[in-house]
Amino acid sequence: MSAIGKGKSVIVLMLLLMFAVAAGQRKVAEETTIFQSLRDGVFTVFGDRGHGSGFLVDKAGLVLTNAHVVSYSNYITVQLDDATRVSALLLEEDKPRDVAVLLIASDVIGDRPVLNLATRPALELAFEGEKVIAIGSPLSQTRILTSGIVSKVEESAIITDVNINPGNSGGPLLNMDSEVIAINTFRDPSPGGPGVAGSISISAAAGLITRAQQKVANVAPPSAELLPVKPKAVYPPECFRWAQKRCSESKNYTFSAGSFDVFIITPPRGSFIVSEAEKHLTDRRRQREAAAGVEESKMYDPLGNRLREWMQYVGEYAPVVKLHVRPKVGMTGASLWLNMLGAVAAGMSGATYEGYYSYEFKGDLQDFTLYSNDRPVHEVMRGMNIMPVSYQYANTSMDDIAQQGVFIFLPDPFYEYEAQALKMKVVDLKKLCDTTEIAIPRACLEQIWVDFEPYRDALKAKRQQLAVK
């Protein structure tokens, strides 16, 4: 075949391919249709010990979730979308079955869909190999879709290969008829593979929902006041290097509140802490590279590896202030007294004294509230966790348990420190719920203002761009 003939053949083939592509259409899957129609009825649920998912089961404001998502929580909130988060009331709970019904103000429901619950017997809710989807807010994500098939149907649970992670708990497992057949609850992980997921059969919640529906008419609903949500804007990653250079003064980020230490973490301060932990090793490596003539742009740079734009989608760069409230550790009163007596007795006899030192938590966090001009400042999120310590080595021991907490706020309340008094109230369970009140030191507030300068500048620049458009 001549070169001209070959050229014509190539052109014809290309035209045919272009035709095929143009004629081809992407198909919208069943899963997509169901997800898009029902996702607005699936919410993110926040308790004292983290977050999970939940879904609307009644226009009166009833939200079904797992009991473990909200157990032992003083404060429960539900986030309906990117801008709407409200207080919630635990209306009914069944801990053995791990299900709970929350109540939120019906005023915020609007036209959000109530999910349809399957009413068949438990063993008929699904069949092996059936396609199912999960909607929830795992990890740092909000209301996302995962899908798979049913692996096994049990009397009280449905086992699937759907990708379930922490935060999915309490969300719906749906079939292709848009029915909720189960509540996503647990994982059975495997070190050598993805493992499987478990969802509590929706039939386990039927009685609980009925009781909640009967009770709701006689219960005052929670407030419909909108609470702060995590900003969609991010702390500019390109500003971290510059900003973290101003975060070296530890005293501007730490202060005491009775039996507790409070640690302030801003985005650049958090980055600084991580960088400092590896600085001496980084410097050692870079010195060798410099001696070897390696270009600076190619030198070892662990911080640079953490400044990727995509990291905002895994929870990094959130422009928030975190207050970490941690109980102090000290010697027990008995240990202090006995060691003092032992040392005195040994000194009088001329003997060498080797004491036994027993330590304990000096506080046990029960609750925390931040106030601005005596009005409570709502958190974006809070996380409380129990710290059990059982330790013995040589002549030192500690056998105690206490709670600590991390409280996450928008930065704005910390800005106007000239015009307002910011103080915190810390409730100590160890001292018969004694409350300690303390103002946040001015030096700390000034440091927060400095740390967020790049973020404020980025917001200002964005507003100016929008004004020009």
Residue 339 has pLDDT above 70, yes or no: no
Residue 283 has pLDDT above 60, yes or no: yes
Residue 143 CA to residue 80 CA, distance in Å, equals 10
Residue 426 has pLDDT above 70, yes or no: yes
Q: Would you list the DSSP string of 281-324?
A: HHHHHHHHHHHTT--GGGS--HHHHT--GGGGGGTTT---EEEE
Residue 431 has pLDDT above 60, yes or no: yes
Chain center to CA of 285: 35
pLDDT of residue 237: 83
Contact between residue 425 and residue 391 where contact means Cβ atoms under 8 Å apart: no
Residue 19 has pLDDT above 60, yes or no: no
Query: 196-210, 311-325, 349-363: which range is least confident on average?
Result: 349-363
Helix, strand, coil % (nearest 5) of the chain?
35, 35, 30
Residue 156 has pLDDT above 50, yes or no: yes
Length of the chain: 469
Domains and their CATH numbers in the chain: 32-218 (2.40.10.120), 237-274+308-344+355-468 (no CATH)
| Contact residues for 21 (Cβ-Cβ < 8 A; gap 6+) | none
| Contact residues for 321 (Cβ-Cβ < 8 A; gap 6+) | 264, 265, 266, 408, 409, 410, 411, 414, 448
Q: What percentage of the chain exceeds 90 in pLDDT?
A: 46
Provide the mean pLDDT of the chain.
85
pLDDT top residue among 348 and 45: 45
Q: What percentage of the chain exceeds 70 in pLDDT?
A: 87
Residue 30 CA to residue 119 CA, distance in Å, equals 22
3-class secondary-structure state, position 358: strand
What is the pLDDT averaged over residues 366-373?
A: 91
pLDDT top residue among 324 and 21: 324
pLDDT top residue among 71 and 88: 88
- Confidence band, pLDDT 50/70/90 cuts, at residue 349: low
| pLDDT tens, position by position, 389-424 | 888 887 788 888 999 999 999 999 888 766 568 899
Please count the other Cβ atoms lying within 10 Å of the Cβ belonging to residue 343. 13
pLDDT of residue 432: 78
- Confidence band, pLDDT 50/70/90 cuts, at residue 2: very low
Give CA separation, 85 vs 141, 316, 322, 341, in Å. Answer: 16, 21, 19, 57
Residue 8 has pLDDT above 80, yes or no: no
